[in-house]
Structure 1
Amino acid sequence: MTVLVTGGAGYIGSHMVLDLVDRGEDVVVLDNLSTGFAAAVPDGVPLVKGDMGDMALVRETIARHRVDAIAHFAARIVVPESVADPLGYYLNNTSKSRSLIQAAVDAGIRDFIFSSTAAVYGNPATNPVTEETPPNPVSPYGRSKLMTEWMLEDTARATGLRYAILRYFNVAGADPRGRAGQSTPQATHLIKVACQAALGRRDGMDVFGTDFPTPDGSCLRDYIHVSDLARAHLLALDHLREGGENLLLNCAYGKGYSVLDVVETVKRVSGKDFQVRRGPRRAGDPAAIVATGEKIRRTLGWRPAHENLEEIVRHALAWESRLGEPAVA
């Protein structure tokens, strides 16, 4: 049988595809290539170019490739963009996910893994958060993801669908073997932007907000290596296949680093200095959010292999160095 990976030509999805292929799984990728890259899909893995909201295409793909599980990564993910274009985010992240879930149920798919986000927590009253922390998203991005979580929970109660919802914290780094990484030139991921600045592909970088209630005034986040995150998906898939209960898990290390901490780490690892401009806060950015990461370790036996900010930065720098075209500042 086959795993359908939506958004499998994108940053996180492509790492999941690599891990599935590495262990001999059959995989098919569905991606509209709006932010993904066909070259990110390994040789021999079918790429269906199309939209996850196209129910006819999804049904045909499921039937043709004998899909029995779905890992759903496809989404728009930029918080400030979601504030400016809320309806676009509700269409793409919520409405189209509803269509994908419907197609899965109609086809009798049993196992569904959903890529959610720490943005569902908003500005938590206390840190670190746990899975029991009440969600309170402050951006349309976070709300759009939380709505999809609710749809999965309700659908599972009414049908035979089982799910694993993985709430990501800040994903960074690249495949240690150099096979995949964050390739979008104008991506907003902090570590990628800082690496581009270190390599001279940006005219410095901006820090958005230095007046947050944090030790140095910049946002505080929990960073997770993309390969450790992909491994969490494999464990969640195995859990569901073995008849395990539905899951809602935070994917994090339980360590917080500020934006300025990350910038200094990139400078130190790269050996390069670059301009850092300090500007006002962006709409929808929480001051601080860190998770314990205890439940996923306990439930799935997840053990991170790259739990080190300097290693994350080294892998991101190595990948960025392989990319030929300079980014637009």
Structure 2
Amino acid sequence: MVPELREYGPAREDLRAEIIAAQALFPESTREAYELPFPADVSQTAWITDRACEFLDTAEGDVFAQISYIQPHNPFSPPAEYVDLVNIDAIPEPTSAEWKNAPIPYYEQPRYAEPSYEIADWRRERALYFADLAHLDHELGRVREALARASRLENCLFIFTSDHGELLHDHGLLGKWERHYDPCIRIPLVIGMPGVRPGHYRQLAEHTDIAATIYHWAGLPAPALPVWGAADTEGMPMLHGRSLVPVATGKDEDMARSHVFIQSNNSHVEASPRSWARTIRTTRYRYTRHLAGGGEQLFDLIEDPDEQNNLAYDERYRDIREVLLADLAEATATDAYPNSPLHLFQVGSW
């Protein structure tokens, strides 16, 4: 998908052709999940850790490190030595494809003709995905060892999170995109810092809170926009996320959000508003609106945690739907605050 791969580097090598040739070595049925044909220490995940540890071992003074791993991501490709760590008998079965029972227009597209778990070896793909997680866990341990070697571990903010989830055949779906079921939008968020209160927090948080948390913990002023005619003021804050430091340290548990906002724009399957989706997720409900007439979903996540009964068209839930729809409209309009929503999305991106 990257045009530059056709003429890469000083030698202008055609890496795209090499990648396609390498993919051809694997049967079509295994290209989404396979064991790496080389040891873990030369895997992509280990390479990223090596570069991160080199930085942490040599950097001086206060530092910020964003270590972006690719795995676990399709194709699920763990090193072979991690596959045996997975107990295949304990792998849960995928949840049923709710959208097959009473499909909204979005799920009437040809690409949703049948659930993924009916045409793929979901058990094998889940096993390799979990093996990828075991490998990532090992590599994160190496990062923390590097922090300890540099005497940084006791006074650092360590955040582990993800950009999205993985449906992994739940609801008969793979990947992410605009299918906002919980396995797609509910992601890990682990925070370690001096004074952190151990435990599992049930407050809602979203990605916008990450930057606010980092600035707060580091004692740095958040970036601000100048305000016309008010040059002597601090300006308007650019960050509209909320710092999670008070929650994590137990100093303020009343900072909980009433809801979080999730959006998808243009999947790489289709660059059209039909592949856009907007969602409001509360502690109890998930309300999603698929654009271009794609329909709506409303699930009661307490009574129906597996999201099997769409209540969006149930008259008994009309008042709840209207409240969530109003919240969704406001969240959509104020998403880019304090700027107007003029950002452009790459056509066909995901």
Q: Which has the larger radius of gyration?
A: 2
Structures share fold, TM-score greater than 0.5:
no
What range describes the TM-score normalised by the shorter chain of this pair? 0.3 to 0.5
Compare relative contact order (CA 8 Å, sep 6+) and give the higher one, 1 or 2. 1
TM-score by length of 2: 0.31
Question: Greater share of strand residues, 1 or 2?
Answer: 1
TM-score by length of 1: 0.32
